[in-house]
Amino acid sequence: MKQIDEAVKTQIKEAIENAERESSCEFVTIITQKSGNYRIYAFFVAALSALLIPHLILWLTNWLSVEEVLRQQIVGFIFLMILTQLSFVTNLLVPSTIMQRHASLVAAESFRKFGLYKTKKRRAVLFFVSVDEHFATIIADAGIEEKIDPLVWESIIETFRLNLNTKGIAQGYLEAIRACGEILKREFPAEEGDTDELPNNLIVDAE
C-alpha cells in the first residue's frame, strides 16, 4: 500500500475528534490494501488458458504436433502463473462481485477484531476501506441500529465509495465521517461523562 501522508492521517483524526465531541458515539477508521488472496482464481485462469491456447493455434494453423501442443501448454502455464502473481493483473481477472464479497467479510471481521462491539453503549461506527477492491463501507453497532435504520447509511456509503475513485481516500473518509456525525449528533448527542474508548487515528491493517 502506498504510504498515507501524515497530514492526511491528522485530518482524519481531527474529523473523528470533532464528530465525537458532538455525539456519544465512537468513530473508527480502518484501511487495508486487499481483503482476499485471489491466487486460486489466478491459478484457474492460467490452467484454463494453458489448455486452450495451443488448441486454438492448432485449429487455426494445423501445424502443431502433439509434442508441440504439450510443450506450449507447459510453457504457457508457467508464464501465466508468473504473470498472474502481479496484483494488478489478478485484480483484472477476478470478478468484482467476488472481490466485493471478500472485502465485505473482512470489514465485518475488522469490526470484531478491533473491538468495536465492546463499547459501553454499543455506539461504535466503523469506516472501512479496502484499496485493491475499491471498496468502502460503514458498519454501526447495535446501540445505533436500535434507533437508526441501516438503510440510512446507504447513500453515505455510495458517496464514500465514489469518493475513493474521484476525490481520493482522505476526502472519502472526511466526508463520510462528517455526514455520519451530523446524523448521530442529533440522535445521540454528547453526554456528560463520555469517555474515548477507541483509537481515533487511522488504523492501517496489513493483514
* 190 SS3 class: coil
Domain map (residue ranges) of the chain? 6-36+95-205, 39-93
Q: pTM for the complete prediction?
A: 0.82
With pLDDT > 90 as the criterion, what percentage of the chain qualifies?
57
* 31 SS3 class: strand
The architecture CATH gives domain 6-36+95-205? Roll (3.10)
Model pLDDT for residues 137-167, shown as the tens digit of each residue: 999 999 999 999 888 899 999 999 998 888 8
Q: For residues 122 and 203, give the distance between their C-alpha atoms in angstroms, rounded to a whole number.
A: 20
Q: For residues 140 and 122, give the distance between their C-alpha atoms in angstroms, rounded to a whole number.
A: 9
Residue 94: the pLDDT is: 80
The Cα angle at residue 172 between residues 168 and 175, in degrees rounded to 5: 140
Residue 64: the pLDDT is: 60
Residue with grid cell 446507504, as numbered in its chain? 154
Model pLDDT for residues 96-132, shown as the tens digit of each residue: 898 999 999 999 999 999 999 999 999 999 999 999 8
Residue 105: the pLDDT is: 96
Q: How far lies 157's CA from each of 27, 93, 172, in Å?
A: 15, 26, 10
Q: Which of 21-25, 87-91, 126-130 has the lowest mean pLDDT?
A: 87-91
Residue 151: the pLDDT is: 86
CA-closest candidate to residue 125, choices 183, 171, 169: 183
Pairing of strands 26-32, 203-205: parallel
Residue 120: the pLDDT is: 94
Residue 47: the pLDDT is: 75
With pLDDT > 70 as the criterion, what percentage of the chain qualifies?
87
Instruction: Quickly list H helices, the chain.
Output: 6-22, 39-61, 66-83, 87-93, 96-113, 142-145, 154-166, 169-187
Q: For residues 172 and 104, give the distance between their C-alpha atoms in angstroms, rounded to a whole number.
A: 17
Q: For residues 181 and 36, give the distance between their C-alpha atoms in angstroms, rounded to a whole number.
A: 30
